[in-house]
């Protein structure tokens, strides 16, 4: 890509893309003149002896964000990426370290590897964020964005995907985290055709439907109605309690290595609404109460009985097949 073409494509006014003011070349090196990121130590927009650019990586290293913050940062990241994809370009190095904050808003930055999506793309970028197929196209950007969201929501490094780790309990009480987890599982699907085609498609999925605890605007206007509803809930508490023991939103995250294993519950194959079987990794909602026998099946590791699982108390069911030992080749 020529310097002029690169500058023309990157100088785009969008709230979630870092503003590139100039692209130049000096002694064989390409340089970018961009907006100054906030100072992670305070004093936004100023250079000081202890200046460190505010990146998503720095924030994640310091603390785990709230579900609401994860949602907002995800929306900002995917919105910026959607602008690049809409222009027919790919980023090829999406990761937390390349998400800068300017005025407190996340902006996708570091365009050193940006190129046209219609060209033959070499395998460049940060290895741990690359998809297993190695094709660095728009779906590779989606894969890397999915891992970035995974880090936000779980507090785990990308190599732990798709496990939810010990923090799985926080997902049970958060519709936001549950929806973000489903978004991540599709974005990071091992089969490229099963991922989102581009960031625009991923953004549409993120925005529809909106999790319940995002719908906070103007709730105060419904105060009287809510008070009446609370009275009715109290009157019907005994009925609701009995009903909830058999029908509530019990869920679990199923993970195997290798992926693409089917899941049986009490000898019955778990199926999607389309009639096709669920395959790992996946998150399944509305599972039955009580303890149920979980079995994973895949040709490469056969039938794995995980025993009885109570989904009310356990939400992460994992099986990782041991790698096959390498066969030695006789000498001579």
Residue range 243-297, pLDDT digits in tens: 344 445 577 888 887 888 999 999 999 998 889 999 888 878 788 888 999 999 9
- Higher confidence at residue 116 or residue 95? 95
Runs of H (alpha helix) within the chain: 3-10, 56-62, 67-86, 138-154, 169-172, 175-187, 199-207, 223-235, 237-244
User: Does residue 332 register a pLDDT over 60?
Assistant: no
Residue range 32-89, pLDDT digits in tens: 778 888 888 766 555 667 788 899 999 999 999 999 999 999 999 999 999 989 988 8
Residue intervals in the chain for CATH 2.60.40 = 250-320
Residue range 142-178, pLDDT digits in tens: 999 999 999 999 999 999 888 887 776 677 778 899 8
pTM above 0.85, yes or no: no
Counts of helices then strands in the chain (DSSP H, E): 9, 13
CA angle in degrees (0–180, nearest 5) for 304-309-314 = 115
Specify which residues 304 forms β-bridges with. Answer: 296
Report how far residue 245's alpha carbon sits from residue 288's, in angstroms, rounded to the nearest whole number: 9
Q: Give every CB contact of residue 91 below 8 A, 6+ residues apart in sequence.
A: 81, 84, 98, 108, 111, 113, 114, 141, 144
Gyration radius from the chain CA atoms:
23
Q: What is the pLDDT of residue 109?
A: 86
Of the pLDDT bands very low, low, confident and very high (cuts 50, 70, 90), residue 217 is: very low
- Of the chain, the end-to-end C-alpha distance in Å amounts to 52
Residue intervals in the chain for CATH 1.10.510.10 = 3-212
Element holding 22 (H helix, E strand): strand 20-26
User: Does residue 140 register a pLDDT over 90?
Assistant: yes
Average pLDDT over the chain, rounded to whole? 78
Topology of domain 250-320, per CATH? Immunoglobulin-like (2.60.40)
Superfamily of domain 3-212: Transferase(Phosphotransferase) domain 1 (1.10.510.10)
């Amino acid at each position: 890509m020529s310097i002029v073409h690169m500058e023309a494509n990157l100088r785009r006014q969008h709230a979630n893309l870092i503003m590139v003011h100039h692209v130049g070349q000096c002694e064989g090196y390409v340089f970018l003149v961009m907006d100054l990121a906030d100072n992670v130590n305070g004093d936004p927009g100023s250079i000081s002896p202890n200046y460190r650019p505010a990146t998503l990586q720095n924030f994640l290293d310091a603390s785990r964000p709230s579900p609401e913050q994860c949602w907002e940062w995800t929306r900002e990241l995917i919105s910026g990426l959607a602008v690049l994809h809409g222009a027919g370009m790919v980023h090829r190095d999406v990761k937390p370290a390349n998400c800068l904050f300017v005025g407190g808003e996340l902006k996708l930055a570091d365009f050193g590897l940006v190129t046209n999506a219609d060209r033959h793309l070499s395998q460049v970028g940060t290895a741990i964020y690359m998809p297993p197929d190695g094709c660095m196209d728009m779906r590779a950007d989606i894969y890397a964005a999915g891992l970035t969201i995974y880090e936000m929501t779980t507090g785990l490094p990308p190599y732990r995907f798709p496990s939810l780790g010990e923090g799985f309990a926080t997902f049970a009480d958060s519709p936001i985290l549950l929806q973000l987890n489903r978004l991540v599982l599709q974005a990071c699907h091992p089969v490229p055709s099963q991922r989102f085609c581009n960031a625009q498609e991923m953004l549409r999925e993120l925005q529809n439907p909106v999790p319940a605890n995002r719908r906070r605007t103007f709730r105060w206007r419904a105060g009287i109605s809510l008070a009446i509803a609370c009275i009715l809930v109290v009157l019907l508490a005994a009925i609701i309690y009995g009903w909830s023991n058999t029908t509530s939103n019990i869920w679990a995250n199923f993970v195997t290595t290798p992926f693409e294993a089917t899941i049986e519950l009490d000898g019955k194959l778990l199926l999607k609404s389309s009639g096709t079987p669920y395959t790992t990794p996946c998150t399944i909602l509305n599972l039955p109460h009580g303890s149920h026998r979980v079995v994973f099946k895949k040709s490469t590791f056969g039938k794995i009985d995980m025993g009885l699982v109570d989904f009310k108390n356990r939400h992460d069911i994992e099986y990782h097949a041991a790698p096959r030992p390498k066969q030695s080749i006789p000498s001579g």
